[in-house]
Amino acid sequence: MDDTKIFLSESEMPQAWYNINPDLPAPLMPPLNPGTGQPLGPEDLAPLFPMELIKQEVSMEPWIEIPDDIMRIYKLWRPSPLHRALALEEELGTPARIYYKNESLSPAGSHKPNTAVAQAYYNKQEGVGRITTETGAGQWGSALSLAGALFDIEIRVYMVRISYDQKPYRRLLMQTWGGECIPSPSDRTNAGRAILAQDPDSPGSLGIAISEAVEEAAGREDTKYALGSVLNHVLLHQTVNGLELKKQLAIAGEKPDMLIGCVGGGSNFAGFCFPFVKDKLDGQDIDIIATEPTACPTLTRAPYRYDFGDNAQMTPLLKMHTLGHGFVPPPIHAGGLRYHGDAPLVSLLVSQKVIEPRAFHQNEVFETAITWARSEGHVPAPETAHAIKAAVDEALKCKETGEEKCIVIAYSGHGHFDLAAYDAYLTGSLTDYELPQEMIDEAMKSVPEVSGPA
């Protein structure tokens, strides 16, 4: 009988994170100082991040050792299992072999603690006692609150208003770990007050919440800022997952034909697939598929341009797929996928056609999530369900063609705090959004005309 789960022992955990930067098929365009248009220096980032993370952000070392204190905490839930989705295969009647790498077993219920713990550790090392951040779905805010509790660091989280209202239990989880959670836009910052003045009922967005968290950190000596996705060092920390997956697939005697994940800012997807991108560049035949919502179609429809990471134009300019920093995505239930931009590393690989993006409507995503829950048992996060949808589509294609493909899903989190979204689906009140081109064109008007260094 085929094994249902493939485990690694703690001693088999990766000892270093994988940095894809030196292996990229084209050079990564640097972040720019919006004032001068010049590439950023470490001093530009020093008010926001500890120096060790700034070094990781620009590092060209292929491997960065994981400190012992981080390894000790990783072992609270790592290594995470690789499951074979035998029940789903049977339900679909597909000859494909479907696997999923389960990051939902962390204390916060997602992949986010992989970097939250690392970021809290480096802040602590440099004497930082207070960190601000933003959160969309609440997964990142809870992960950083957990890490704050473990390293005795005060955490303040600006949570996107729509998710704050949809997910009161995520707020309570943050508070349980000692984090403070404020709905964004708020009246605590200039950025928040400016939005509220225009639209007192603003549902918020990750771009706005980032502005609030960055403004506060930049204005206080005792406070730094942490980002839950997008930046190189965040993606780096997540590679612990893909490196484990490589070993687990080898134990199962498998070579993946398809790796599928969901992309908000790109961190879980990158951590899961980057260790395989090099194999693909070296000639291995792997389809690497990034999924996203049609309501926020950054990788499938947005231009590849320099833009701000936040609404209030406080962050550096990043070269990425962007719908424009002023874009406020429709209030869909996959809150973690409502970001106007994408990680520069993921954007580059999409522009180089190494990664293929696909977008889905939320109703079809929830329909698949229900099929999954009723066969595999686990209830996926709405974000994760985007990846499952693409995997099920592919498995059904295999049923038509008879191909026995090995499909691996990045199972980024559980949906236990997303049951209001399941309720909306089950009662038929979930709306699909297809973004009109005029809305994208309008939002792109605010994006600066910057081409970056030659």
Of 8 and 144, nearer to ligand PLP (C-beta) is 144
Binding of residue 357 to ligand PLP (CB under 6 A): no
| Smallest separation, CB 350 to ligand PLP (Å) | 13
275: nearest Cα among 105, 23, 77: 23
User: Out of 74, 243, 384, 392, which residue is the one contacting ligand PLP (CB under 6 A)?
Assistant: 384
Ordered DSSP codes for 112-166:
THHHHHHHHHHHHHTT--EEEEEESSSHHHHHHHHHHHHHT-EEEEEEEHHHHHH
Which amino acid, 309?
Answer: G
Cα 418–Cα 424–Cα 428 angle in degrees, nearest 5? 150
User: Out of 142, 211, 223, 267, which residue is the one contacting ligand PLP (CB under 6 A)?
Assistant: 267
Binding of residue 57 to ligand PLP (CB under 6 A): no
Of 89 and 413, nearer to ligand PLP (C-beta) is 413
Ordered DSSP codes for 252-297:
TT---SEEEEE-SSSHHHHHHHHHHHHHHHTT---EEEEEEETTS-
Which pair of tokens denotes residue 52? 């060790």
Binding of residue 139 to ligand PLP (CB under 6 A): yes
User: Out of 31, 264, 297, 324, which residue is the one contacting ligand PLP (CB under 6 A)?
Assistant: 264
Site for ligand PLP in 82-121 (CB under 6 A): 110
Helices 362-375 and 419-426 meet at what angle, rounded to 10?
110
| Smallest separation, CB 33 to ligand PLP (Å) | 25
CB 304 within 8 A of CB 320: yes
User: Out of 70, 162, 262, 348, which residue is the one contacting ligand PLP (CB under 6 A)?
Assistant: 262
Binding of residue 413 to ligand PLP (CB under 6 A): yes
Peptide bond just before 185 cis, omega within 30 deg: yes
Which pair of tokens denotes residue 448? 């600066």
Q: Which residue is nearest to ligand PLP (CB)?
A: 336
Binding of residue 336 to ligand PLP (CB under 6 A): yes
How far is the CA of 39 from the CAs of 19, 164, 230, 329, 400, in angstroms?
A: 20, 36, 18, 29, 50
Site for ligand PLP in 280-319 (CB under 6 A): none
User: Out of 79, 113, 207, 266, which residue is the one contacting ligand PLP (CB under 6 A)?
Assistant: 266
User: Out of 223, 229, 315, 322, which residue is the one contacting ligand PLP (CB under 6 A)?
Assistant: 229
Dist. CA 161–CA 187, nearest whole Å: 12
Binding of residue 248 to ligand PLP (CB under 6 A): no
| Smallest separation, CB 37 to ligand PLP (Å) | 28
User: Out of 265, 275, 297, 309, which residue is the one contacting ligand PLP (CB under 6 A)?
Assistant: 265
Dist. CA 207–CA 184, nearest whole Å: 10
Q: Of 131-139, 179-187, 303-311, 320-328, which segment contacts ligand PLP by CB under 6 A?
A: 131-139
CA dihedral 448, 187, 332, 305 (to 10 degrees): 10
User: CB count, 10 Å around CB of 226?
Assistant: 32
| Smallest separation, CB 307 to ligand PLP (Å) | 17
Binding of residue 211 to ligand PLP (CB under 6 A): no
User: Out of 53, 92, 128, 137, which residue is the one contacting ligand PLP (CB under 6 A)?
Assistant: 137
R_g over Cα of the chain: 20
Site for ligand PLP, rule CB under 6 A: 110, 136-137, 139-140, 229, 262-269, 336-337, 381, 383-384, 412-413
